[in-house]
Amino acid sequence: MVSVSNQQLTHIDETGAARMVDVGAKTHTERVALAESFIRMQPETLALILSGGHKKGDVLAVARVAGIMAAKKTWDLIPMCHPLLLTKVVVTLTPDEQNQGIHILAECRLSGQTGVEMEALTAASVAALTLYDMCKAVDRGMVIEYTRLLEKHGGKTGSWVR
């Protein structure tokens, strides 16, 4: 666990009030972030998705599009996020029969003044939530086990890799 004792919370001002960070003076750099999520389900639910037999249609395609759309709307969902001109959003859904679920990987990229970690995390989260929504009629016991940042590159702080 990283200690935050010598870190500054950037979205809190000197009085303790919430604030949006001013990124106007920051340098434009290439920024990329990768996040992942995993949703575990019954083997029968995964088989139904993989067979294309779900009556709601292509569940993976809908989740992929939902993740991409979510990345583009992160600023609308997370109060202190800036609206960003994303140049790339890729959401990959990989079935994992051994672990009975679907692994979701979201990559977001831009050239700008602030990072894209929240966009990648939002994309992965919403893709997982969409899978749950699409399949809850057949498996209400699905579990979204984790959503986490894997890596980020660019900006003043450079690279971070889990």
* Contact status, residue 38 vs residue 98, Cβ threshold 8 Å: no
* Contact status, residue 77 vs residue 118, Cβ threshold 8 Å: no
* Contact status, residue 162 vs residue 151, Cβ threshold 8 Å: yes
For the chain, report the end-to-end CA distance as a whole number of angstroms: 12
Q: Which of 22, 76, 96, 133 is catalytic?
A: 133
Reply yes or no on whether 58 is catalytic: no
Instruction: Give the integer Cα–Cα distance in Å for 82 and 23.
Output: 9
Give the active site residues.
133
